Amino acid sequence: MDKRTSYIEIKQEQAIKDGVICVCKQVSERKIRKAVRDGNKKFIAVKQATEAASGCGLCQPFVEDIITDELSKKAK
């Protein structure tokens, strides 16, 4: 395994441990939930507030799910 591959693996393991949803921008689930609680109710607003999903974009569905979940908590 070359150095770059092992570096990426270490980073990915760390990201999972820290609850990082967006690997590109290192944004955690906690940060996304906080942004929603701070009044960012739409995906685009959360994206601007946290930078989540502003890299490769692959995490967008997960970010959207977290926003939906956080908003449903609020409604209860």
- Least distance from C-beta 60 to ligand FES, angstroms? 7
Q: Which residues bind ligand FES (CB under 6 A)?
A: 22-25, 53, 55-59
Please say which residue, 52 or 70, places its beta carbon nearer to ligand FES. Answer: 52
Give the up-direction half-sphere exposure of residue 19: CA atoms within 13 A in the CB hemisphere.
Answer: 8
Question: Pick from 48, 51, 62, 65: which is nearest to 16 by CA?
Answer: 62
Please say which residue, 6 or 12, places its beta carbon nearer to ligand FES. Answer: 12
**C-alpha of 11 from chain center:** 15
- Least distance from C-beta 8 to ligand FES, angstroms? 13
